[in-house]
A and B are shown apart, each in its own frame.
Chain A
Amino acid sequence: MSQSAVASVSHHEVLMEPSPYSMDKKKLGMWVFIVSDACTFAAFLFAYGYMRVGAPVWGTPFGFSSIANGMIMTAVLLSSSLSMLAAVRASQVGEKASSNKWLAVTMLLGTIFAGLHLREWYKLIAEGWRLFYNPTGGAAQFGAAFFTVTGLHLTHVVTGVIALAFVARGYKQGCYDESHVETAGLYWHFVDLVWMFVFPLMYLMNAH
């Protein structure tokens, strides 16, 4: 690991204890962030579960079209994870051009995901769903839970796309290196990972 750490060395070098994870600080920082962000998502999902358990009637509003849309979104996000991997691997063997190409693909897929997601939202809002209103007569909590949880996830996706754009630019200009790409990749995979819980809990559990 020392090699890559040296790669990010600035003009000033001193001897230090090795990292217990043999991992540079950016990457470790991202892992620590992921731990806390996972807890944040967990708290949202627990609140949703609590609402649902406590509700006398809940109602399952999603028809197959929504589920299908959800599956497409899942596919898009998963493939974006794969393209992210490709970008990281390319950067690690020093193929800057292809790495940037894959980063672009990842951002594109991320944007498509966000687009599909917003389309879903507009559909629901058009049907009369609100944070505080359930047109199908079930618990009003559904709208609240759905828009909050998916909204938080959507925010993460959009932030991720923007972050990737910055990393890609910095990487192209040479002020960032492959370790930045890898760190960004970690975040992106985490967003994907969260979706693997959001999709079954928010969509499938509400399919009629």
Chain B
Amino acid sequence: MAATIAHAAVHHAAPQGFIRKYLFSVDHKVIGIQYLTLSLIAVFVGMALSWVMRIHLAWPDAHIPLLGWLSPNGAPNGLMTPEYYLSLMTMHGTIMAFFVLTAAPMAGFGNFMLPIQVGAADMAFPRLNMSSFWVTLVGFILACATFVIPDGPPLSGWTAYAPLSAVGPVAGPGQGWGQNLWGLSIVCFCIASLLGALNFIVTTLDLRTKGMKLSRLPLSTWGWFIDAWVSLLAFAVLLPTCLLLVLDRLGGTSFFIPSGLVINDQLQPHAGGSPLLFQHLFWFFGHPEVYIIILPAFGIVSHVMPTFIRKPLVGGWKVMTFAEVAVGMLSFVVWGHHMFVSGMSPFMAMVFSVPTLLITIPSVIAVLVWVFSLYHSNIRFDTPLLFSLGFVSLFISGGIGGFFLAQPSTDSYLHATSFVVGHFHFTMGLSAIFATFAGFYYWYPKMFGRVMNEKLGKVHFWLSFVLVYCVFMTMHLTGFAGAVRRYSALVDDFMVQLIPANKFMTVAALLLGATQFIFLFNVIWSRFKGQKASDNPWGATTLEWDTTSPPPFDNFGGRQITVYHGPMEYDGDASVMQTSPAASVAGT
């Protein structure tokens, strides 16, 4: 069908004045940077929390500076109480999973890059896009507010299992308004994510410039597009789950609270609910969530790699996209593997176990594509590529743990041990973070017109890579000894023996955290002092590199963009822009 004239998403001329331009801007680029800034703040908050927790685990009677000031009840003059440990653990999980890992790779880079990569002037619904960010921000503020209210943040973990999360203040410190605010914060995040996903889907389908067939979309765009579908369906189920939880807490309903609960010798006024219902609804979202986090990472890495290995990925766009679609679909069938020992019907355990193992097939295909694309390539080891390779290595290591946790028989020993903690930090935590770093170093010149410092970047990578393994591989290993997670102190006889290992992990974690300040410094310093970037510093081929750095308000200065090639036209030093009519060099 012939290309049709439709209106580009320029709804108005470039806004003037600071507030319209940078604060309440409808420009997807500004919104993307706002999201990234939010995540950057969130990630350092979350990291600080993990520091405090690690210190407490290794040196239980350490007086941690500033903590006493932050929470006089939770940590009287810096000495942490068990409940405060759990509160920090809850907020670490919540902030990292939602406001960092879900927000940065998807909403951050996606917002900035997706419209440019498809050749659009903005998202399909710019005002909706702006509101998504501000709703996310409200959610983040609500989450942080739990730190300042008297009874502190909730202690029920980021999974907020009912009835602990549902019965109210009687269940423990932070289970009053802390848990309410937590629930409302997640409701906000759900709404924002749904609006964002809607925007991504429509933009990808309806705003592609002439010649940008689906087969020519960059793999990062594919990642965000598939991810948007997964978020759309998954968050649509988390939203009612959180609403019902809040209703149980504030409305007196009993969806998740069974009859005859007695807490502190008080018979609870609830009847007939089911904790398992909450777990089912939560994990119906919760497992797709980990793929919501990792799919954009797949996309970013698959987008960054070809640029630096100077050849297309094996199998072109088809194989990787197939893998991503397969992973996205399977992710809805496997949530029960979080519930093998939860009292779920043991027969369902088998039903959930098989697809959970099957999901390794598309994952393995993706990994093979990344690894074997290096075969006879010309690798240029710039920082973005190093982080991409780091991502692949971490994803392999993390994926391996999946074999153990996917089988009910082995999971029944390893469930709720530090093996699980190590596993998900590798797969969804650090893989996604490494991909985000790759994206940062790769797109920073485009976003700010200056290149990040290469030397600092390399130091950042090497230290992070090694230390990440020191922390989380050790967690895997201690998991085999049955080290139980979510313990604020190691008191059991078999746990005490693991204190040395924990000291090692703590030291490594502190260094790992310190390393991230190199990155923070690099981001801020390069913004002002970094070397000026050309329009296309990496010799890449996709549309974002076919405009100025940073791009103008409508992305291409009103030029008609026409696409002739796929996104991976690399052959050694030769490469062809997607927009250039010249002959293909990679034959993709």
Contacts and interface: CB of A to CB of B under 8 A. Distances in A.
B271 A13 contact: no
A40 B211 CA distance: 36
A25 B240 contact: no
B198 A15 contact: no
B272 A55 contact: yes
B205 A5 contact: no
Interface in A19-44: 19-21, 23-25, 28-29, 32-33, 35-37, 39-40, 43-44
A51 B272 contact: yes
B467 interface: no
A12 B559 CA distance: 11
Contact of B7 (A10, A19, A47, A143): A10
A144 B194 CA distance: 26
Contacts of B202: 25, 28-29, 32
A193 to B, nearest CB: 16
Contacts of B210: 14-17
Contacts of A14: 5, 8, 121, 209-210, 558, 560-561
A15 B120 CA distance: 11
A43 B252 contact: no
A6 B5 contact: yes
Interface string B19-53: 00000000000000000000000000000000000
Contacts of A33: 194, 198
Nearest to B284: A43
B205 A21 contact: yes
A94 B224 CA distance: 39
B254 A19 contact: no
B213 interface: yes
A2 B206 contact: no
Contact of B251 (A24, A40, A132): A132
Contacts of B214: 20
Contact of B8 (A13, A20, A50): A13
Contacts of B199: 29
Contacts of A36: 194, 197-198, 232-233, 235-236
Given A32-B198, A36-B232, A144 B253 contact: yes
A16 B209 contact: yes
Interface string A118-150: 000000000000111000000111011000100
Contacts of B247: 131, 144, 148
Interface stretch (B80-88, B273-281, B573-581): B273-281
Contacts of B2: 18
A29 B239 contact: no
Given A14-B8, A29-B198, A32-B201, A50 B271 contact: no
A175 interface: no
Interface of B: 1-8, 10-11, 119, 121, 124-125, 194, 197-199, 201-203, 205-214, 232-233, 235-237, 239-241, 243-244, 247, 251-255, 269-274, 277, 281, 284, 554, 558, 560-562
12 contacts: A5-B4, A5-B7, A9-B6, A10-B8, A15-B5, A16-B207, A19-B6, A43-B241, A47-B240, A51-B274, A54-B272, A130-B252
Given A12-B558, A14-B5, A14-B121, 15 more contacts: A9-B5, A13-B8, A15-B3, A15-B562, A17-B211, A25-B202, A28-B205, A39-B233, A43-B240, A47-B240, A51-B272, A54-B272, A141-B255, A141-B273, A144-B253
Interface of A: 1-2, 5-6, 8-10, 12-21, 23-25, 28-29, 32-33, 35-37, 39-40, 43-44, 46-47, 50-51, 54-55, 130-132, 139-141, 143-144, 148
6 closest A-B pairs by CB: A132-B252, A39-B236, A144-B253, A15-B210, A36-B236, A9-B7
